[in-house]
Amino acid sequence: MSARTQEEGSQVTRRHVLIIVQNLPVPLDRRVWLECQALTAAGYEVSVICPKGPGDPGYQVLSGVHLYKYAPPPQANGVLGYLLEFVYCWLRTARLTLKVWRRAPFAAIQACNPPDTYWALARLWRARGVRFIFDHHDLNPEVFRSRFGEPKGLAARVQLAGLYWLERKTFHTADRVISTNQSYQRIAWERGDVPVEHTTVVRSGPDTSVMKPGTPKPELRNGREHLVAWLGIMGPQDGVDGVLEIARRVVRDHGREDVQFALLGFGDCLEDLKKQCAELGLDDYVTFTGRVGPPQIADYLSTASLGLSADPLSPLNDVSTMNKTMEYMAYALPVVAYRLTETVVSAGDCAVYLEPGDVDGFAKELLGLLDDPARRDRLGSDGRARAEQVLDWRPQAQAYVGVYDELFGFELEPAAPPSRPAVIRDHRTPGLRSSRRRVTPTAD
């Protein structure tokens, strides 16, 4: 083998990144798929380990990305069920890392949480010189507190302490931490003791070159004048039952039979939500799409009159970026939302805000917007402009690839300008405190 061939082979190995995802298959996980595309466009080789979606093969190459997938575990119930799920996924993932390595050694592992367990796998690979990047998607302690409240009994306190311990181990193992917003970044600084210079904010911004208004599909309105859309995962902490209560007030209390609601997504609560919808007598007014891909999402959001971000106030939701909000804006949809810290950071002046829990006010503002087409057009146009100019994925992709370029000593592109830090309301999120440190590496 020539010296040049050896050098090129070494360069390929150095630029091979393995991404681990447990909670969604890829490319269904939009953020991870955008990250994969950003890395491949920058000359990196990318492999992904994730669970299978319906009909997925165990291995395929899609748009240059090598996808290794394992059969998902059964639906978890209770503490023991979740523990078995984590162990099963960890072992299946660990086995596939060996398969990936045999095909092409990788230089870095990027783990996307939940759960916060793959730091242990990263430590095993550290002996081979593999670096560890933590892509911080979720706050598992806050998920626990949001779903079950502040722990009172010994068992609950032990579980929460275990989640904090796993989070700390993940932070302490990571060579670099990628945060989805400044609120998460501040947690990495203050709760994870991660050096400021080792953190980068990469927001899950929409790719506005792809996500843009298309041709409406009138049949999705079910014969009604307006379609109102909600998009997301249907988990206990996501408050989709509140969306059905808003729909009930619109249809029953306000007597509006001209509004169809579309709930796009799936999750643990989907079947319970369908039962609730039937009990409320709303089956004819609510469409549950189940799992949908980008083409179906585009059809619904291109047809809708507005989008709902009715996430309830909780320790998790207040500091989490809701992708649905930014996707509505990309499709020029006006947004009605509860006033949560990171929702305001995302939408700025392009949404109508209600105080968290004001269901009646939410229903009234929704109807007010439906009856004011000029205001809808203005908010939708402003939202689309903000999505293009502030939230778009392109500068986020630059910041994301920059993490790897800096870590491995490749030539850096000019950094995008910093965004304004989010304001954390201390009384809402125990354990966090305000910080005046500026974020230097990335854009909002």
Q: Is the pLDDT of residue 441 over 50?
A: no
What fold, for 218-391? Answer: Rossmann fold (3.40.50)
pLDDT at 14: 63
Average pLDDT over residues 415-444: 34
d(CA 238, CA 215): 30
Q: Grade residue 237 by pLDDT with cuts at 50, 70 and 90.
A: confident
Average pLDDT over residues 102-126: 96
pLDDT at 411: 56
Q: Is the pLDDT of residue 92 over 60?
A: yes
User: Residue holding tokens 């240059």?
Assistant: 64
Q: Where are the domains of the chain?
A: 3-205+394-408, 218-391
Q: Grade residue 280 by pLDDT with cuts at 50, 70 and 90.
A: very high
CATH architecture for residues 3-205+394-408: 3-Layer(aba) Sandwich (3.40)
Q: Is the pLDDT of residue 5 over 80?
A: no
Q: Is 348 left (phi over 0), alpha (psi -120 to 50) or beta?
A: left
Write the DSSP string, 294-362.
Answer: HHHHHHHHHH-SEEEE-PPP-TTGGGS--HHHHHHHHTT--EEEE--HHHHHHHTTSEEEE-TT-HHHH
Phi and psi at 16, nearest 5°, equal -95, 125
Look over the chain and give the mean of its residue pLDDT values, rounded to a whole number: 89
pLDDT at 368: 96
Average pLDDT over residues 188-195: 96
Average pLDDT over residues 179-193: 96
pLDDT at 444: 32
pLDDT at 419: 38
Q: Is the pLDDT of residue 316 over 60?
A: yes
> DSSP alpha helices (H): ranges in 150-269?
154-173, 182-190, 240-248
Percent of the chain with pLDDT over 70: 89
More confident: 417 or 34: 34
Q: Is the pLDDT of residue 12 over 60?
A: no
Percent of the chain with pLDDT over 90: 79
Average pLDDT over residues 295-314: 96
